[in-house]
A and B are shown apart, each in its own frame.
Chain A
């Protein structure tokens, strides 16, 4: 079960004509798919579109009722390949994944799909993970559209526009026999708002019906000579058809006065940011009515030369607002102007920074700079010559610590890396390759384990060069999500086939945890519509990896360390794989907390463990924290003039995972940790013995106290 449940929101998906939908962008896209008569949907989770997959999974019943097939694809390549159903059949299909990394994985299938062309509308919804909140390398999805020649939509970031882009996208795809990619940025995915609904449509032909009437046409197969024909078809037929559709349906929008000497061209997704800048400059009102003409590219590929030149016709200066780099749009538009022998002066990068997110401040500065150059008279006096006295705000950049993401309280991955740190203390530093997933947080302090990550499922493959072995074995880390995404084939068959001497650790937390706790093949949960409970070790055995150790309680740091040491020192040839399994604590707590509360209320015996630190035993060296980094293990300053350093302290958010005690033991740190188990609803016998023991202990304590000085509070 995913981290967030959309069961309640699913009701909104049933709304019909005349109703108003209010909610999040992701959910609006789902609704728009249903209104467009989509026949099949799928994808692979990953921020910022994880929730789209979660919504679809939660809506499976509703989808089935409409005859829509939902597939939780194994990875993005599988998702994109699924769109093959729209090649021959007039069925609309949509898949979703994140950009650019998901698009990278999918690019083979996308290229083939684009060559073959489609009959039914094929929509790829990409969550562009760029800027603040992103967890990947900063790149653009844009050039994928350019190289494979599919169309790229980048609608204005409000619900009606996004919803319209979905239905426009399907129609554009069908009109031009080309797949269409709908790009939504991080904040657009989570933006809230409302739109007027239409009725949900059943697909004109369902995938089940298609199976009864199979079609094929070798002209669509990517093989010579058809592939040459495909290229010609793209340029000669599909592209012009797309341009015609985009122009006639006015997918791109123009706002503002017709006669002006200047204008701004903007990616649809950046429209709101641009309007805010104009609002702040007094050049647009609250509703976006602007004094500067704006040409909004809701379609960022292909660009329509005639449309753009028409917009430029009366103007001397035009600004391109294009986030990210390289500036493909600006370059293309510049070449349109050059070929038309235009004298319009083009502005863009330069006024805007070459790289990085166009934040509010960047946008304001860029637009202001443009107006200053193109029409300084437009600016109010305060903006043109800022002379307001601003109080000096102290610089806090040296004070405020960075706060990168890290392991959650009680995370089962923490003890794995604590054990690795201990093994490295014994055997020295090792070559370690990391993968994608929560476990990548281990590369940050306090663990600092792992030097590079080459992509999802590629951890062990990234150690390929070291497969031949050496003095110390290379170690790689991969999660269960990465394992099933592509790791089994890309990483483990690679290890096995090449007789790698390396060690791989599969961090198995029962879910694709980093993306929101979706089920994977080896999840332990029963899932009515998916096949779960397929052990990773079985898959490894199947590809000839025989040295496999399963650790089923990662919190046992000592055991984890011993298994690791064994893997690093054993004489057995071939790959050594450790499957370290314990459930993601976030998901476990979500599942168990209500059950525990219920059990306590019902009077059943419940034992709730939590850790604590004896502050007069802790010396404030923080060695425990350097092996943990747990949010609940923090520091506190003591009210004791003799003590310099803050001591360790565990707050109420501790879930009693056991890591603190295990680490204190395995690393022989200090005796200050204790675990307190509070037993709710103990039985009468248990209570009796507890009372009796306490009485004797208290007597002993009192006996000794009577012979000593009592200083009141302990130092």
Chain B
């Protein structure tokens, strides 16, 4: 076809370079509207032609949302702005949460040729991340690594924390970071003026704005790391301390790679019961160490999971945790309770017949547990949601007394049950270690599946049993350890056990 003379190819209008395209990806409720409002006011006050758009509506409630602003220098004519960000054509991307930064990158809104990415590194976990029975939290490092490649310039900090510490919300600290980025042709004073003209919560917003500005400039100190209680020296009555030192010395004899974990485990079991119980813990580790070899993974995993299994969650332990020194101060700090306030703490407890029986002497408890009428009676007496005011004397005293029942614990049904479970599980691992070391390690790790209270605990136990049954099917295969790992990971994916059933079906398909 023929080309018309009038239609010569031409480079882009240089004035187009003057349009600043800014997008903000946020989670509904983060104040993205306020932020884009400030940016708009800022641009207008600076004489710029500005256009902002958003997609409000129900789709916004706690969901991912996007705001978009374009502005151009003053001119007699009105520029034509776009109403939505386009992939590869965004100058400034403000991501008010780390995964939203990831979403912006996925959508192509962050490109190395032009985009300054201002990202808050904090996480607001999505429901899918939170509801997995295991660890479903998305990998923020991956997003950070991608951001470093995708963005022309990356300004990342925990702007949420910065805002909260200033008594404000993230929109203000991000606005500060925007000012610091120098991507908009306006002085910081103009930014502050935009906040002032906004009207609400000005002081807090300005504080957060400045903190965000400083953080983005890198002038501010890095966020102080969360207060790590320095490993304090163990202290206490001389006799106990001597016992502890003996245990510590014994732990020093364990294979080196397992020592640190064993130390942590030792503390946990001694706190749970007493020095003698710590001795039992070390006995069990010794048993494992005797058959272990380099790289001593078996010992390491045993140090971890034997401690967790031995420090099971019974009524005594829970009562102990609820009446422990320092708890009240920790809660007060968390709740922001000051001297002039009074703080009331209500505990939500719901014991069932099972929990009562588990505290009875082992033989008696076992008898009762299979007597439906006895159990029904216990349920009538005890099975009820109890709200206990642990700042009150009666409730505190009750829990305090329960916490003092450690001496009774070794005789309880629960203790006997846990012991039996331990023997079966640990025995299985030791037995397998001789033939398939890796599988033995996986068996130890399966103890992770037993957690929670009441029904959740029972379900955990039954899934543990299912996985052990699955492992029994693959014993002897070269890839047995791999299958054991897959089974365990399947359990941690969903509550109903759909993934586990799927994995089990696969196993059955090739072993039968």
Residues of A within 8 A of B (CB): 22, 47-48, 50-51, 129, 132-135, 157-158, 186-188, 190-193, 257, 259-261, 271-273, 275-276, 279-288, 291, 316, 359-361, 363-364, 374-375, 377-381, 390-394, 396-397, 399-409, 438, 441, 444-446, 514-515, 558, 607, 610, 612, 614, 616-617, 619-623, 625-626, 629, 631, 633-635, 637, 639-642, 644-646, 652, 661, 664-671, 673-682, 686-687, 690, 693-694, 696-697, 700-702, 704-715
Of A363, A621, A661, A690, most B-chain CB atoms within 10 Å: A621
- Selecting from B79-87, B189-197, B503-511, the interface stretch reads B79-87
From known contacts A257-B6, A360-B89, A709-B236, infer whether A690 and B130 are also in contact, taking CB-CB under 8 Å. Answer: no
Residues of A within 8 A of B400 (CB): 700, 704
B149, A391: Cβ atoms under 8 Å?
Answer: yes
Most buried by A among B10, B130, B324, B387: B130
Q: Which residues of A contact B307 (CB under 8 A)?
A: 642
Q: What are 7 A-B interface contacts by the 8 Å CB criterion?
A: A135-B59, A187-B84, A190-B52, A271-B80, A276-B81, A444-B127, A708-B240
Question: Which B residues lie within 8 Å of A405 (CB)?
Answer: 28, 58-63
| Nearest A residue (CB) for B406 | A708
A377-B7, A670-B452 known; A186 and B231 CB under 8 Å?
no
From residue A681, how far is it (CB to closest CB) to chain B in Å? 8
The answer to whether B321 touches A616 (Cβ under 8 A) is yes
Interface membership of chain B positions 5-43, coded 1 if the CB is closer than 8 angstroms to chain A and 0 otherwise: 011111111011011000000011100000000001000
Query: Given A186-B57, A405-B60, A671-B348, does the pair A291, B10 have CB atoms closer than 8 Å?
Result: yes
Whether B346 lies near A674 (C-beta < 8 A) is: yes
Task: List the B side residues contacting A50 at CB < 8 Å.
Answer: 57
Complex A-B, nearest 3 residue pairs according to Cβ-Cβ distance, in ascending order: A360-B86, A133-B55, A712-B232
Q: Which of B60, B260, B350 has the most CB of A within 10 A?
A: B350
C-alpha gap A612/B145 in the complex (Å): 33
CA–CA, A191 and B237, complex, Å:
71
Distance A61 CA – B124 CA, assembled complex (angstroms): 42
What 0/1 pattern do residues 328 to 363 of B give for CB contact below 8 A with A? Answer: 100110111100111111111110100000000000
Contact with A along B220-254 (1 / 0, CB 8 A): 00000010111111111100110010000000000
B residues 113-166 in Cβ contact with A at 8 Å? 124-135, 137-139, 142-143, 145-146, 149-150, 164
Name the A residues within 8 Å of B29 (CB-CB): 408-409, 631
Determine the residue in chain A with the shortest Cβ distance to B400: A700
For B332, what are the chain A residues with a Cβ–Cβ distance below 8 Å? Answer: 676
Q: How far is the CB of B200 from chain A (nearest CB, A)?
A: 10
Q: Using A639-B226, A678-B336, A713-B229 as known contacts, list a sample of 11 further A-B pairs with CB atoms less than 8 Å apart, ordered by residue number in A.
A: A284-B80, A286-B72, A286-B80, A391-B112, A396-B102, A399-B142, A402-B126, A612-B335, A645-B135, A676-B344, A711-B267
Contacts of B19 in A (CB 8 A): 286
Q: Are A396 and B146 in contact (CB under 8 A)?
A: yes
Q: Which B residues touch A375, using CB under 8 A?
A: 1, 3-4, 7
Q: State how many angstroms separate the Cβ of A493 from the closest Cβ of chain B.
A: 27
Q: Taking the complex as formed, is B268 at the interface, i.e. its CB lies under 8 A from any CB of chain A?
A: yes
Q: How far is the CB of B51 from chain A (nearest CB, A)?
A: 6
Q: Interface with A: B171-179, B204-212, B282-290, B453-461, which one?
A: B453-461
Chain A interface SS verdict (over half):
loop
Would you call A712 and B231 a contact (CB within 8 A)? yes
CA distance A645 to B77 in the complex (A): 59
* A408 x B44 contact (CB < 8 A): no
CA distance A616 to B323 in the complex (A): 12
Chain B neighbourhood of A361, CB < 8 A? 86-88, 108
Q: How far is the CB of A97 from chain B (nearest CB, A)?
A: 14
Contact assessment for B335 and A678 in the assembled complex, using a CB-CB cutoff below 8 Å:
yes
**A681 and B59 alpha carbons, distance in the complex (Å):** 40
Which residues of chain B come closer than 8 Å to A670, judged between CB atoms? 452-454, 456
Query: Which A-chain residue is minimally distant from B85 (CB atoms)?
Result: A360
Instruction: Indicate which residue in A287, A397, A610 contacts B106 across the interface (CB closer than 8 Å).
Output: A397
CB pair B59 A393 closer than 8 Å = no
Q: Are B18 and A626 in contact (CB under 8 A)?
A: no
Would you call B277 an interface residue if the criterion is a C-beta within 8 Å of the partner chain's C-beta atoms? no
Instruction: Indicate which residue in B137, B232, B346 contacts A711 across the interface (CB closer than 8 Å).
Output: B232
CB distance from B115 to the nearest CB of A (A): 11
Which of these, A363, A441, A665, contacts B348 with CB under 8 Å? A665
B409 within 8 A of A: no
**Contact call A620/B344, Cβ cutoff below 8 A:** no
- Say yes or no: A48 contacts B318, CB within 8 Å: no
Say whether B15 contacts A286, CB under 8 Å: yes
**Contact call B53/A700, Cβ cutoff below 8 A:** no
| Stretch of B368-376, B389-397, B412-420, B426-434 with 4 or more beta carbons under 8 angstroms from chain A | B389-397
Across the interface, name the chain B residue whose C-beta is closest to A682: B342
Asked if residues B88 and A286 are in contact (CB atoms below 8 Å), the reply is no
Chain B's nearest CB lies how many Å from the CB of A483? Answer: 17
What's the minimum C-beta distance from A677 to chain B, rounded to whole angstroms?
4
* A665→B264 contact, CB < 8 A: no
B99 surroundings in chain A (CB, below 8 A):
400-401, 403
Return chain A residues, CB-CB under 8 Å to B60.
133, 405
- How far apart sit A279 and B15, CA to CA, in the bound complex (Å)? 10
| B contact residues around A438 at 8 Å (CB) | 58, 61
Chain A residues with CB under 8 A of B435: none
Shortest Cβ gap from A26 to chain B (Å) = 10
Contact of A677 among B125, B235, B344 (CB under 8 A): B344
CB-defined contacts of B323 to chain A, threshold 8 Å: 700-701, 704
Residue from A186, A260, A261, A697 in contact with B391 in the complex, judged by beta carbons closer than 8 Å: A697
Contacts of B495 in A (CB 8 A): 623, 626
Q: How far is the CA of A257 from the CA of B84 in the complex (A)?
A: 27
Interface assignment of B294: CB less than 8 Å from any CB of chain A: no
**Of B4, B55, B138, B396, which is within 8 A of A697 by CB?**
B396
CA distance A279 to B10 in the complex (A): 11
- CB contacts (< 8 Å) of A686 on chain B: these are 342
Say whether B58 contacts A135, CB under 8 Å: yes
Alpha-carbon distance A257/B106, docked complex (angstroms): 38
Q: Is the CB of B53 within 8 A of A191?
A: yes
CA distance in complex: A390, B68 (Å): 25
Q: Which of B490-508 contact A (CB under 8 A)?
A: 492, 495
Query: B469 contacts the other chain (Cβ, under 8 Å)?
Result: no
Q: Judging by beta carbons under 8 Å apart, are B82 and A360 in contact?
A: yes
Distance of A175 Cα from B345 Cα, bound (Å): 72
Distance A626 CA – B459 CA, assembled complex (angstroms): 15
- A682–B75 CA distance with the chains assembled, in angstroms: 61
Measured in the bound complex, the distance between the Cα atoms of B89 and A677 in whole Å is 50
Interface residues of B in 308-331 (CB under 8 A from A): 308, 313, 318, 321-328, 331
For the complex, what is the distance from the CA of A288 to the CA of B336, rounded to whole Å? 55
A288 contacts which chain B residues (CB < 8 A)?
A: 79-80
> Which among A261, A401, A633, A668 is the interface contact of B1 at CB below 8 angstroms?
A261
Asked whether A652 and B456 contact (CB < 8 A) given A377-B9, A621-B133, A687-B342, the answer is: no
Does chain A have a CB within 8 A of B424? no
B322 proximity list for chain A (CB < 8 A): 614, 617, 671
Shortest B385–chain A CB gap in Å is: 4
Contacts A405-B61, A674-B331: A679 and B4 contacting too (C-beta < 8 A)?
Answer: no
- Known: A514-B58, A664-B348, A665-B385. Contact between A402 and B128, CB under 8 A? yes
Distance (whole angstroms) from the CB of A126 to the closest CB of chain B: 15
Chain A residue at minimal CB-CB distance from B455: A668
- Tell me, yes or no, whether B64 is within 8 Å of chain A by CB: yes
Give Cα distance in the complex from A191 to B492, angstroms. 45
Candidate in B44, B86, B236, B328 with the most chain A CB atoms within 10 angstroms: B86
Q: Output the least CB separation between A291 and chain B (Å).
A: 6
CB-defined contacts of B347 to chain A, threshold 8 Å = 671, 673-674
> In the bound complex, do residue A671 and residue B9 qualify as a contact, i.e. CB atoms below 8 Å apart?
no
- Beta-carbon contact of B345 and A192 below 8 Å: no
Cβ contact within 8 Å between B393 and A693: yes
Partner of A279, one of B12, B143, B230: B12
Question: Does B471 count as interface, using CB distance less than 8 angstroms?
Answer: no
